Amino acid sequence: MVLRILTRLSAATVLASAGLIPVPASAASLVTDPASLVNPFIGTSNAADDFPGADVPFGMLQWSPDTPSRPDGGGYEYKDSSITGFSLTHLSGPGCGADGDVPILPTVGAVDTGASISFSHSNESASPGAYSVGLGNGVTTELTTALRSGIGRFTFPATSQANLQFKLNGSQNGTTGQTWTVVSPTEVSGSVTSGHFCGAGFTYTLYFDVVFDRPFSTSGTAAAPAVTPKASPGKLHGTATTEAAPAAGPGSAYVRFDTTTDRTVQAKVGISYVSVANAVANRAADIPAFDFAATKQAAHDSWNALLGRIQVAGGTAAQQRVFYTALYHSLLHPNVFSDRNGQYIGFDNQVHTVASGHSAHYANFSGWDIYRTQAQLSALVAPAQTSDIAQSMIADYAQGGTLPKWAQNNGETYVMVGDPGTAILASYYAFGARNFDTAAALQAMLREASAPNNVRPGLNATNAPGYLPANGTYQCCNFYGPVSTQLEYDTADFALSAFAGALGDTADQAFYAGRAQNWKNTFNAASGFMQPRQADGSWTGGFDPASGSNFVEGTSWQYTGMVPFNVAGLAAARGGNASLAGYLDSVLSGFHGSGGTQADLGNEPSLELPWEYDYAGQPYKTQKVVRQVQDQIWTDAPGGLAGNDDLGAMSAWYVFSALGFYPMTPGTADLALGSPLFTQAVVTLPSGNTLTVNAPAAADNAPYVQSATWNGSSWNNAYAPAPALTAGGTLAFALGTSANTAWAASNPPPSYDGTLPHLGPLTSGIAGKCADVAQSGTANGTHVQLYTCNNTGAQKWFSGADGSLQAQGGCLDVSNSGTANGTKVQLWQCNGSGAQKWQAGTAGSLVNPQSGKCLDDPGSTTADGTQLQIYDCNQSAAQRWTRG
């Protein structure tokens, strides 16, 4: 009967119903229930490491199944055929094992602490806020969640031995301690201490409380198999995984129910990182009654509230599912970390309360990944939550001394490189999340960019000689890959510049826009590639652009394009647009990093490469390549995402690309244009206005822009109009199946080529002598001396935005803020004081305004090693200093 019906349908109807051809634009309507289109199983196989379980946006509790192979933080591999537990916390594809705390497993019969129960995908379902599975032991498990709590419904066979086993030592990285308390015949509570993400030393403690809708017949504890954390091949973090110490407390616990007549057991779970009492309060507030259906509907509605801020029409059914699943994955992290009463554990391991005017404190920052895509999307779609996330980062700085780099819960891991916190905060602001202490944010950024700290190891070398040497040694903070790290610092400097400018700080805006151009010091015009360089200025020998040596998770082929704020400058350095386009043609001939010579669109350093054709006068190639990446990497299937999702970073790339634009330049709202995948998209902006993107001829085989309009007027630029993300408007595209090579070819997106700050020697009026940092030191109090000019980093000084003179990561300082003749000068940590201010005086002198004295060579000596001083200005050769 079914076959007869199908034969009467047109081929187009059948294909459309299967999601394989676009719905005609005239018939397309905007999606009104986007949560119903999300497929949480996308990205649960191969390396993506997403998880399919129940959650709400940015939720503290994310209740999801774990399987035996238990890849990185997602804990679930679609190809596995059994489940080891349903743990309460997860991270999406972080690259190393993480969270997976307190797995709870329903079993029947004797307690087996190492149990793994078979299941079939035919008995499994997932949607935003809900998950269910029928297990091979006859138990049906259903999960749903609220912000800090969840409800589990377990339907057992008729048995007197229906168990819920709590694998207390089952966290992804094991545990160093657990507690377990039977509060009453209907309530248990406890805690687990875990951590050691990617081998980091810090730990955190999760507290939980569970109340059941009926008394259990018995309970108990038992030893459990030790959990051995494993390093992940998905990320090269530069650290070895540290196994957890043997755990104190019970390894496993259980409660047992008699389900011979009443087969269903419900459990409400609350968690906290502060205390069991707070876990109880979170549970009671989130889910006051045992109402599974209402909790599930509330979770679904919470997802629709955010997913619905971007409504699309048209495309195939599969493309809509991939799109909304990517948007869903982009909004899982960072996670609420504070409790209902506002309390949270800070980076100083003390209890704090959420700042006034903010709703929650947040944790979990995959900084190196999310600053490129997810940060911008989060601010665009969830500005209120993202403002609280920004304020949380500022609190982390106040309590821990640094902005989050790669932070898990209340600990910093220093995984990966660069200074991503600066770019994240600047991009939050640029994309409309602005309800945070921007002045404090700027001060934190400036501190990390100017004073020695654990976020930017090697900062002194960044100032002079202006790049991180290949043979440099920096004994902290997981430093490696100097070329990549230098490029990351440059992007952070530019983002800082943009943020400072937005706040009216023009001096720091100019200075850091200039220092961001240090990428030029790692670019070798002879080879056309970013290259490692020695401290003496020479290029390293035997350079192979396909090698990962001196790079981070990539090669020079993949990193050479990583100048997102000045692609025009990169093109000029290579000899022009034709050369840049040739490089892009070569590196984008494949998307999976083959041989180290091709882009790896499953990893962050390559994400911007397809968009750089916009800057090289060939935007039609951006349109073509972006569509190829979408088709090859993104599918409506468990393996439909390449590489780790990295807490939504990869998924956010897809969302932007499907809308037809990309946030190319961290710290700005600049959008490089591609072409839309859908016939229409309506984005509700942080301002409350809407941006509408129309493309009535959009189709998978029609990525090419023929023409475009903005609010009805012709638009011939390869970037979005400036008001697009603020006032909103309508951007309309005429698309086709063949390239229009002329459209926007002469109008690239903005590039920013700041003027380099002064960087060079301070040459004395005494012939052949320079101001020198003794023995190239970096410690406070190091003498600044007269020495024979030798062009080393110890003699390269640059002008700070605050009037300071800096070298080796410190400032030229008058000892003890003295004002008397003969007071010595030294290197000291930059602090903005009057002792570190210098102004140009008469006859080439350098005047310290606080004392009114000039920088002076004592007695006009010519002896190397003589410590410099301040002295009454007298226009002598001993006080004449020539810059550059």
Tens digits of per-residue pLDDT, 207-216? 999 999 999 9
Query: CA 147 to CA 804: how far, in whole Å?
Result: 48
Does 2 score more than 50 pLDDT?
Answer: no
Residue 22 located in a structural domain: no
Residue 28 located in a structural domain: no
Q: Which range, of 94-108, 159-173, 470-484, 656-670, averages the lowest pLDDT?
A: 470-484
Q: Is residue 288 located within the same domain as residue 314?
A: no
Does 27 score more than 70 pLDDT?
Answer: no
Task: Give the percent of the chain with pLDDT over 90.
Answer: 82
Does 621 score more than 90 pLDDT?
Answer: yes
Residue 8 is predicted with a pLDDT of: 28
What average pLDDT does this structure show over 629-653?
Answer: 95
Q: Is residue 567 located within the same domain as residue 709?
A: yes
Q: Which range, of 12-16, 433-437, 663-667, 872-876, averages the lowest pLDDT?
A: 12-16
The reported pTM is 0.87
Please list, residue by residue across 229-240, b when 16 or more beta carbons sit within 10 angstroms of its beta carbon and e when fewer do: bbbbebbbbbbe
| Mean pLDDT score across all residues of the chain | 92
Residue 7 located in a structural domain: no
Residue 31 is predicted with a pLDDT of: 98
Residue 16 located in a structural domain: no
Residue where one domain finishes, among candidates 281, 306, 331: 306
Residue 26 located in a structural domain: no
Q: Is residue 128 located within the same domain as residue 107?
A: yes
Query: CA 456 to CA 467: how far, in whole Å?
Result: 13
C-alpha dist (Å) from residue 815 to 795, 818, 825, 845, 872: 19, 6, 6, 19, 16
What average pLDDT does this structure show over 400-408?
Answer: 97
Q: Is residue 218 located within the same domain as residue 286?
A: yes
DSSP-assigned states of every residue in 584-627: HHHHTT-SB-GGGTS-BTTSGGGTTGGGGGGGGT-HHHHHHHHH
CATH number for the domain harbouring residue 493: 3.30.2080.10
Q: Is residue 576 located within the same domain as residue 629?
A: yes
Query: CA 235 to CA 237: how far, in whole Å?
Result: 6
What average pLDDT does this structure show over 632-658?
Answer: 96
Does 65 score more than 60 pLDDT?
Answer: yes
Residue 161 located in a structural domain: yes
CATH number for the domain harbouring residue 860: 2.80.10.50
Residue 220 is predicted with a pLDDT of: 95
Query: CA 695 to CA 732: how far, in whole Å?
Result: 6
Q: Is residue 688 located within the same domain as residue 767?
A: no
DSSP-assigned states of every residue in 718-744: SB--GGGGTT-EEEEEEEESS--TTTT
What average pLDDT does this structure show over 377-396?
Answer: 98
Does 72 score more than 50 pLDDT?
Answer: yes
Q: How confident is the model at residue 422 (pLDDT cuts 50, 70, 90)?
A: very high
Query: CA 663 to CA 219: how far, in whole Å?
Result: 54
Q: Is residue 701 located within the same domain as residue 793?
A: no
Does 835 score more than 80 pLDDT?
Answer: yes
Q: Is residue 181 located within the same domain as residue 326?
A: no
Residue where one domain finishes, among candidates 306, 337, 365: 306
Residue 856 is predicted with a pLDDT of: 97
Please list, residue by residue across 291-301, b when 16 or more beta carbons sit within 10 angstroms of its beta carbon and e when fewer do: ebeebbebbbe
Q: Is residue 549 located within the same domain as residue 625?
A: yes
Q: Which range, of 14-23, 44-53, 223-232, 716-725, averages the lowest pLDDT?
A: 14-23
Residue 20 located in a structural domain: no
Q: How confident is the model at residue 463 (pLDDT cuts 50, 70, 90)?
A: confident
Q: Which range, of 3-12, 16-25, 277-286, 444-453, averages the lowest pLDDT?
A: 3-12
Residue 31 located in a structural domain: no
Does 839 score more than 60 pLDDT?
Answer: yes
Q: Is residue 134 located within the same domain as residue 265?
A: yes
Could you tell me the two tokens for 394? 């500022």
What average pLDDT does this structure show over 325-339?
Answer: 98
Residue 234 is predicted with a pLDDT of: 43
Which sign, positive or negative, has the C-alpha torsion 58, 60, 61, 62? positive
Rg, Å, the chain Cα set: 29
Q: Which range, of 286-300, 444-458, 615-629, averages the lowest pLDDT?
A: 444-458
Residue where one domain finishes, among candidates 705, 736, 767: 736
Query: CA 140 to CA 156: how far, in whole Å?
Result: 7
What average pLDDT does this structure show over 601-629?
Answer: 98
Q: Is residue 711 located within the same domain as residue 850?
A: no
Does 545 score more than 80 pLDDT?
Answer: yes
Does 882 score more than 70 pLDDT?
Answer: yes
Q: How confident is the model at residue 226 (pLDDT cuts 50, 70, 90)?
A: low
Residue 22 is predicted with a pLDDT of: 43
Residue 87 is predicted with a pLDDT of: 98
Q: Which residue has the higher pLDDT, 244 or 717?
A: 717
DSSP-assigned states of every residue in 847-877: EETTTTEEEE-GGG---TTPBPEEE-----G
Give 543: exposed, middle or buried? Use CB within 10 Å, 0-12, 13-18, 19+. middle
Unique residue bearing structure tokens 């600044």: 784
Does 23 score more than 60 pLDDT?
Answer: no
Q: Are 636 and 19 in contact (CB under 8 A)?
A: yes
Q: Are 150 and 268 in contact (CB under 8 A)?
A: yes
Query: CA 585 to CA 587: how far, in whole Å?
Result: 6
The total domain count for the chain is 3
- CA terminus-to-terminus distance, the chain: 87
Q: Is residue 91 located within the same domain as residue 238?
A: yes
Give 407: exposed, middle or buried? Use CB within 10 Å, 0-12, 13-18, 19+. buried
Q: Which domain holds residue 646?
A: 310-736
Q: Are 177 and 192 in contact (CB under 8 A)?
A: yes
Does 299 score more than 90 pLDDT?
Answer: yes
Does 51 score more than 80 pLDDT?
Answer: yes
CATH number for the domain harbouring residue 145: 2.70.98.10
Tens digits of per-residue pLDDT, 518-536? 999 999 999 999 999 998 8
Q: How confident is the model at residue 46 (pLDDT cuts 50, 70, 90)?
A: confident
Query: CA 317 to CA 17: how far, in whole Å?
Result: 8
